[in-house]
């Protein structure tokens, strides 16, 4: 493949999930002799540098992030601040435009990959650089929430899909539509709403690429191409390379005490912070199952640590079979451990891929944003997992509901469990099929080469 001369730049949104998704794609391109210049906030570089498997072809370009009034000193990414301050992070990102422009003029890449910087395509076009919107959010979510066919949606419009949306079981509950409508309409950067920023980024790009497979998201990819009038390049599963490190001894030793496929593992990503009552109801639900469990969640709102927020007497009752940990864990390695039987996931993009690739059964517990649409697709369209039941109006859930969802997927005699286990096994086999990742990345590179020509 004649890709040796191709040079791409990448400028992902300042959020850990986006940065890691872009670096995983950069690794795939670098394997094909493509040179990558990767823009990254200066102080955040050390947090993702270990993902760079090809430092001879992937060069980090540290960005000095301007301080914006209202942000804590040194804040660079969304993980550094609570959600209400995310708009100030994107304001800081917008203020890097002069640095970005000067860097692109000096580097002269053929193509720049971006997502939240809606101003980047116009800037790149002035220099003869093509702009590809690499979207870490699923095509299902983009089509459902941001389709231009919605025009100026009201909150109630989000209950149902937009005009022309592919046939699907996906719908939103009242509390979900309320939350997503609020995000769409909120100011996200100076003088621009979240929805308008996203739509402009898609509309002004030269092409759109998703971490997606036609076999799973085909109709939704076609819908996005139709409504945004841009070519869409599916990049495939973009499976990260196996971690070099072994599983931490603490977790390897603890998990080894249990029989294969019996342990519940629960994690909701790097940003989710539950309310105290939700946090306690969740862990009480795991206690009710009678199964061993490992919970890796950030401390709930107002708590100093995850451990200090546990219900009275909880630790004594579950000390031999349950652990609640408030720090980071090696999720990919934990999911591959033979003791893990159930993954309770928030259905974020990265976790969604890891969930489908592994043998553990899936309980879907979306918290916000694209996670909700991802969960509906996995639970209702693909039928590979069971979603925890929540109240339509306020999104509340019970420990009994958590327990039921786990038992539905774990108990051998469950009809629901049989169905989701069979469907999950089918998709897992497909996703692990030899050459699948290579086929998609090779196809993406061919599309990039044709853009350069």
Q: What is the pLDDT of residues 149-163, one digit of tens each?
A: 998 889 999 999 999
pLDDT score recorded for residue 3: 43
The domains of the chain, with CATH numbers, are 7-241+434-452 (3.40.50.2000), 249-432 (3.40.50.2000)
Active-site annotation holder among 94, 110, 115, 381: 115
Q: How far is Cα 65 from Cα 92, in angstroms, rounded to an integer?
A: 6
Query: Mean pLDDT for each consecutive 10-residue tract of the chain (453 residues)?
Result: 75 94 96 97 92 95 96 93 93 98 97 98 97 96 95 92 92 96 95 96 98 95 98 92 84 96 93 92 97 95 92 94 92 94 92 88 94 95 96 95 96 91 94 93 96 79
Looking at residue 245, its pLDDT comes to 81
CB 405 within 8 A of CB 389: yes
18 in catalytic set = yes
Q: CB-based contacts of 426: which residues, under 8 Å, 6+ apart?
A: none
pLDDT value of position 212: 94
* pLDDT of the residue at 241: 76
39 close to 51: Cβ distance less than 8 angstroms: no
453 vs 447: CA distance, rounded Å: 10
* Antiparallel, parallel or unpaired: β 111-114 and 263-267: unpaired
Cα distances from 230 to residues 2, 146, 149, 233, 447, in angstroms, run 25, 15, 15, 10, 13
How far is Cα 15 from Cα 115, in angstroms, rounded to an integer?
11
CB 375 within 8 A of CB 254: no
Q: Supply the pTM of this predicted model.
A: 0.92
**Cα distance between residue 402 and residue 407, in whole Å:** 9
Radius of gyration of the chain (CA): 22
Asked if 85 and 115 count as a contact pair (C-beta separation under 8 A), the reply is no
Q: 40 by DSSP, 3-state: which?
A: strand
Instruction: Give per-residue pLDDT as tens, 25-70.
Output: 999 999 999 999 999 999 999 989 989 999 999 999 999 999 999 9
Please give the DSSP secondary-structure letter assigned to residue 210. Answer: E
Q: How many helices (H) and strands (E) would you count in the chain?
A: 18, 13
């Amino acid at each position: 493949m004649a890709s040796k001369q191709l040079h791409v730049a990448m400028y992902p949104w300042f959020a850990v999930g986006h940065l890691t998704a872009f670096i995983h794609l950069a690794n795939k391109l670098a394997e094909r002799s493509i040179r990558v210049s990767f823009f990254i906030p200066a102080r955040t570089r050390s947090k993702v540098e270990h993902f760079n498997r090809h430092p001879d072809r992937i060069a980090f370009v540290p960005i000095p992030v301007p301080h914006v009034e209202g942000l804590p000193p040194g804040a660079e990414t969304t993980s550094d601040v609570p959600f209400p301050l995310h708009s100030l992070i994107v304001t800081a990102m917008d203020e890097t435009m002069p640095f970005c422009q000067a860097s692109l003029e000096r580097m002269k890449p053929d193509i720049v990959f971006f997502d939240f910087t809606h101003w980047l395509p116009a800037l790149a076009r002035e220099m003869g650089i093509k702009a590809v919107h690499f979207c870490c959010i699923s095509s299902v979510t983009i089509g459902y929430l941001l389709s231009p066919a919605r025009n100026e949606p009201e909150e109630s419009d989000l209950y149902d899909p937009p005009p022309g949306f592919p046939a699907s079981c996906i719908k939103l509950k009242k509390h979900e539509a309320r939350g997503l409508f609020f995000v769409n309409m909120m100011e996200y950067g100076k003088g621009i709403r979240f929805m308008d920023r996203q739509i402009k980024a898609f509309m002004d790009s030269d092409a759109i690429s998703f971490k997606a497979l036609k076999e799973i998201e085909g109709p939704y990819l076609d819908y996005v191409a139709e409504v945004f009038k841009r070519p869409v390049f599916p990049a495939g599963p973009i499976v990260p390379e196996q971690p070099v490190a072994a599983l931490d001894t603490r977790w390897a030793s603890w998990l080894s005490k249990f029989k294969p496929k019996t342990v519940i593992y629960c994690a909701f990503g790097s940003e989710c912070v539950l309310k105290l009552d939700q946090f306690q109801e969740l862990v009480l639900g795991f206690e009710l199952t009678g199964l061993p469990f490992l919970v890796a969640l950030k401390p709930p709102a107002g708590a100093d640590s995850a451990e200090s927020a546990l219900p009275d007497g909880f630790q004594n009752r579950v000390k031999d079979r349950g652990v609640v940990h408030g720090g980071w864990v090696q999720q990919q390695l934990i999911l591959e451990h033979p003791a893990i039987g159930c993954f309770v996931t928030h259905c974020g993009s990265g976790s969604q891929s890891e969930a489908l690739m592994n043998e553990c059964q899936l309980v879907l517990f979306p918290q916000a944003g694209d996670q909700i649409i991802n969960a509906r697709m996995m639970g209702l369209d693909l039928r590979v997992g069971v979603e925890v039941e929540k109240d339509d109006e306020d999104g509340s859930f019970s420990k009994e509901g958590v327990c039921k969802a786990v038992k539905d997927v774990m108990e051998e005699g469950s009809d629901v469990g049989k169905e989701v286990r069979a469907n999950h096994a089918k998709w897992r086999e497909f996703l692990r099929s030899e050459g699948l990742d290579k086929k998609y990345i090779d196809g993406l590179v061919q599309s990039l080469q044709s853009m350069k020509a």
